[in-house]
Amino acid sequence: MKKSITPNQIKQNNRSLIYHFIYKNRKVSQQDIAYELHLSRPTVTANLSAMEEEGLIYKNGLIDTEFVGRKASAYSIVPAYRIGIGVEILKKEVKMIAVNLYGEKICRMASEIPFERSESYFRGVCGKLMEFINSFGAKDEQILGIGFAMQGLITPDKQTVLYGKILSCTGLSITEFSRHLPYPCSFIHDADSAAISELWVSPGLTDAFYLSLSKHLGAAIISKGMILDGKHGHSSTIEHIQMQPNGSLCYCGKHGCMETLLSLTALLNEGEELENFFLKVRENEPSAQKRWQFFLTDLSRAVNMLHLIYDTDFILGGYIAPYLCEEDLTFLHEQIRQMTPFPEPSDFILISKMPQHNISIGAALPYVREFLQKI
Ligand SMILES: [Zn+2]
């Protein structure tokens, strides 16, 4: 039986349509809204007034419009009406970022607080977070929630660390943080938050294998615009696929995992900075170049294997992403072509479009997305 739509639902739907039209087009006139959405002028006027009063939108100067011979008032959404907070928990520091409804950075802060599974650590981090939120003058009701990006796997309900060997935090509950904070809190796997950032900046992206090449290796599978968690929450943990049975020891306790070949720890010498390493590579310094070639060769083996399982685009992200160049991609495609049984086009390995702050921003974005979906 077809359900009829109530007048209230129509009203809510019009409000949502108008808000999202303004959101998408950034600056629009009342006339444009009415014309593009096929709504009557009184309906548009009433909705705009109500949303302006609530603080969701504001009059943003004047704009040219084809429908009247003069400039009309322009409307924009208030980007900081609600704010998402993303936190990246690392071994030696904590990175925090606040983003508005466009996912744009409002404020960012990094604090050197070494991770420790202790009450004083959790209280200390939360104290810093409150300080951070106060620093840009946000009110409590503006904060949608705080996402904590962890170097570890998270349970599907986002409440517990399922596997956290890097920080020795397996079993950690979100309540350790949330009981000191007046906002909703959740965990997110750092590779997932990086992939969420990628999705945000590439709205056309629906399917991809995202590789996070950072201090540690991580990955996320994007399918139909969503991140795949898997039955037990450990889909795409490619970092522990064994590549060399007699290879170096991985933090998981096994030998020769992808992590031991494709992380920055594997690539860089003790105390070496990524930037300096790439300066040497691009200046053709032989030993750095040799290390880079080995790394890229291992990367091509890994990508080839994963690409045989899932034929999709591969996005190379993480700390390495800003240093990658066309030449590296050509090398990878060429290596893969020699390994794989099928003719391979040179178009499926891409560089991340969002190489900076992607993990912390991606931890904040689910809150923003949820808010936008409800409006
Ligand atoms: Zn491992």
Is the CB of residue 83 less than 8 Å from the CB of residue 96? Answer: no
Find the 89 Cα to ligand 1 centroid distance in Å.
20
Residue 66 lies in a domain: yes
Asked if 187 and 244 sit in the same domain, the reply is: no
Q: The domain containing residue 18 runs over which residues?
A: 7-77
Structural domain includes residue 154: yes
CATH of the domain at 288: 3.30.420.40
- What 3-state class would DSSP assign to 258? coil
Q: Give the whole-angstrom CA distance, residue 279 versus residue 259.
A: 24
Residue 325 DSSP SS3: coil
Could you tell me which residues come within 8 angstroms of residue 184 by beta carbon, excluding any fewer than 6 positions away? 144, 145, 146, 178, 367
Average pLDDT over residues 113-117: 96
Check residue 231 and give its pLDDT: 79
Distance 166 CA to ligand 1 centre (A): 11
Q: How far apart are CA 129 and CA 135, in angstroms?
A: 10
- 43 is a domain residue: yes
Q: What is the distance in A from the centroid of ligand 1 to the CA of 165?
A: 10
Per-residue pLDDT at 343 exceeds 90: no
Can you give the CATH number for the domain in which 14 is found?
1.10.10.10
* Distance (Å) from CA 317 to ligand 1 centroid: 20
Residue 65 is predicted with a pLDDT of 73
Domain's final residue, options 77, 100, 118: 77
> Is residue 1 domain-resident?
no
Q: Element (H or E) spanning 191, and its range?
A: helix 190-201
Least confident residue range of 110-119, 231-240, 361-370:
231-240
Q: Which residues pair with 111 in a beta bridge?
A: 94
Helix, strand, or coil (residue 186): strand
What is the average pLDDT across 194-216?
93
The count of other CB atoms within 10 Å of the CB of residue 141 is 9
As to burial, measured by CB atoms within 10 angstroms (0-12 exposed, 13-18 middle, 19+ buried), residue 197 is buried
208 and 335 co-located in one domain:
yes
Whether residue 297 contacts residue 334, with contact meaning beta carbons closer than 8 Å, is answered with no
Is 277 part of any domain? yes
Total domains present in the chain: 3
Whether 174 and 230 share a structural domain: no
Q: Is residue 21 part of a domain?
A: yes
Whether residue 232 is predicted with pLDDT greater than 60 in this model: the reply is: yes
Pair (341, 212) in one structural domain: yes
Last residue within a domain, chosen from 77, 94, 119: 77
